[in-house]
Amino acid sequence: MENFLASISLVSKIATNDYVGFTFFVGCMAMMAASAFFFLSMNSFDKKWRTSILVSGLITFIAAVHYWYMRDYWAGFAESPTFFRYVDWVLTVPLMCVEFFLILKVAGAKKSLMWRLIALSLIMLVTGYFGEAVYRDSAWVWGLISGIAYFAIVYEIWFGTAKKLAEEAGGAVLSAHKTLCWFVLVGWAIYPIGYMAGTPGWYEGWFTGLNMDVIYNIGDAVNKIGFGLVIYGLAVAKSSEK
């Protein structure tokens, strides 16, 4: 009860013109709502699609919990909650990669594809954290390594094994795969902008006036909820076919 009252107290201190705090609060509520929606809809689908919906719900639920803490951290210290954010990403981004494997299992996807995507996502995130929080003087180097891992993921899903499996599956699976690919290519591209807006390097001045946390918060809401809705749409389509 005391913790709940403390949280209410912190929220009340957010100024009306604090747009950063506002995006933390809205992001938290949006993730919670999405989690409830995905979890409650699980029993509407065949067993083979329930795991995909469950993972979608876990992604937004984990994000909602971290946004709850990040919101309070921002309200209390007015500092970017970098550590909490990367803990969130280390848990949720690999799960987003797992979604590719789950929807492509119908075409014979092997676990090696899943582990390859997970490994690349962890390299992308760990090196990003080093550049943003540990070795800021060489942020551009760590950002470059992170970017290489990101483009390796993009190549795998757009042109590699994942693409071939999606084409073999065809129909709704191929359509969902293409949409998820666009989320990774365009939606995930928001994060390098936030990274460059918040770290020193040769790119300084490119994104003057942009707030790193606002960019990250918008990106998280769009990508994580959007990913889940694509999976939900696929499950609905396959259930309708049956």
Q: Which residues contact 237 (CB under 8 A, 6 or more apart)?
A: 171, 172, 176
Q: What is the largest CA-CA distance in the chain?
A: 56
Provide the pLDDT for residue 105.
92
Residue-wise pLDDT for 116-149, tens only, equals: 999 999 999 999 999 999 999 999 999 999 999 9
CATH numbers and ranges of domains, the chain: 2-241 (1.20.1070.10)
Distance from C-alpha of 177 to C-alpha of 141, rounded to nearest angstrom: 31
Q: Give the DSSP per-residue string, 163-186.
A: HHHHHHH-HHHHHHHHHHHHIIII
Residue-wise pLDDT for 17-61, tens only, equals: 788 989 999 999 999 999 999 999 998 888 889 999 999 999 999
Tokens 């921002």, located at residue = 74
> Among 59, 20, 38, which Cα is nearest to 233's?
38
Is the pLDDT at 168 greater than 60, yes or no?
yes
CA 200-182-169 angle, to 5 degrees, is 140
Distance from C-alpha of 142 to C-alpha of 125, rounded to nearest angstrom: 10
